[in-house]
Every structure is written in structure tokens, then in C-alpha cells.
Amino acid sequence: MKEISRDSLSESLQRDLVLVEEALSTSYCPHSGLCVAAGLILDSGELITGVNYESASYGLTQCAERNAISRAQAENKVEQVQGLLLSACYQNNDHDSPPLTPCGACRQWLSELSDRIGRDFVVYSFWKSGRNGLTGSARELLPQAFL
């Protein structure tokens, strides 16, 4: 993934990123304190969001990316995915390190989604209100995915 400035995003992507950041407030993260929100950008310009939902049994925790994909599937819109926006923040403080990237399980889901829809798609990741983020593609995140 390469660095990208929030200011270099198109106006529509900047608006979508704000909506993803607003979704952070609905994250359920009592164990890590790390709120994560994802927004799938569709052909139509619609944004489908998902947030992380933690469990005391960490293996049962659901990531924002997979929740957004599941929601798009439930709404029969998963074939329309054109991109993914991610944002994260800690409940108690701002963070200034490089933005998070999807975990291994989410990278697998994103790779399989890319294969399923027959095209790669862009992924953006920012800390909430952070000036710089990272961008790459779904296939780039997991180049030798299990398919």
C-alpha cells in the first residue's frame, strides 16, 4: 500500500470518508477500545457501512470489513462494489501512527470478493481525521490468496 493524502481524494470520496468516520460511533469495542468502520462504495455511489463488534472470546469478534460485505450481500448489492474506505480511532485518544490495514481474515474476504466480481478494487485506510492514509487494492493486500 502507498501513502495518500485525504486532500487528494475526490470530493465524493471525502464525503464518503466522513460518513464512514461518523459510523465509528456505533462500533462496539469494549475490549480493545479500537473502533473500526468500513464503507463499501457501490457503482451507484451508495455507501454500505459496517463496524467492528467485539466479543470477550476474541475469535468471535466481527470486523468492520466483513460486516460491510455481509450487509452488501444481504442487500443483494455485493456485485456492485467499486471500493472500500476504512477508518479507525481509539475510544480514549487520537492516534498518529500509520493507518490500520485489514486483518488476514478480511484480506481473504476482500480477495475472494474481488475474484467473485471479476475485478480488483481500491482500498483506502485512514485514522479518523488523519491527514494521510494508505491506498492499495484488494488483490494487492493478499497476493497469494487461497481461492
Q: Is 126 a member of any domain? A: yes
Whether residue 147 lies inside any domain: the answer is: no
Side-by-side strand order, sheet with 122-127? 2-5, 132-137, 122-127, 81-90, 34-42, 47-51
Q: What local confidence, expressed as pLDDT, does residue 106 receive?
A: 97
Q: pLDDT, tens digit, for every residue of 55-69? A: 999 889 999 999 999
Asked if residues 134 and 17 have their Cβ atoms less than 8 Å apart, the reply is: no
The catalytically annotated residue of 21, 22, 65, 75 is: 65
Structural domain count, the chain: 1
Whether residue 50 lies inside any domain: the answer is yes
For each of the chain's 147 residues, which pLDDT tens digit applies? 999 999 999 999 999 999 999 999 999 999 999 999 999 999 999 999 999 999 999 889 999 999 999 999 999 999 999 999 999 999 877 666 778 999 999 999 999 999 999 999 999 999 998 899 999 999 999 988 887
Residue count (the chain): 147
pLDDT at 94: 66
Grid-cell match 494521510, residue found: 132
Identity (one letter) of the amino acid at 56?
A
| Cα 43 to Cα 78: distance, rounded to the nearest angstrom | 10
Would residue 47 count as lying in a domain? yes
Q: 65 catalytic, yes or no?
A: yes
- Residue 146 forms part of a structural domain: no
- The number of C-alpha atoms within 13 Å of 83 and in the hemisphere containing its C-beta is 20
98 and 134 in contact (C-beta within 8 Å)? yes
What cell numbers appear for 137 in the block? 487494492
Which residues, 6+ apart, have CB-to-CB distance to 62 below 8 Å?
52, 53
Q: Assess if residue 114 is contained within a domain.
A: yes
Range of the domain at 103: 2-141
CATH number at residue 45: 3.40.140.10
CA distance 50 to 103: 15
Q: What is the pLDDT of residue 95?
A: 66
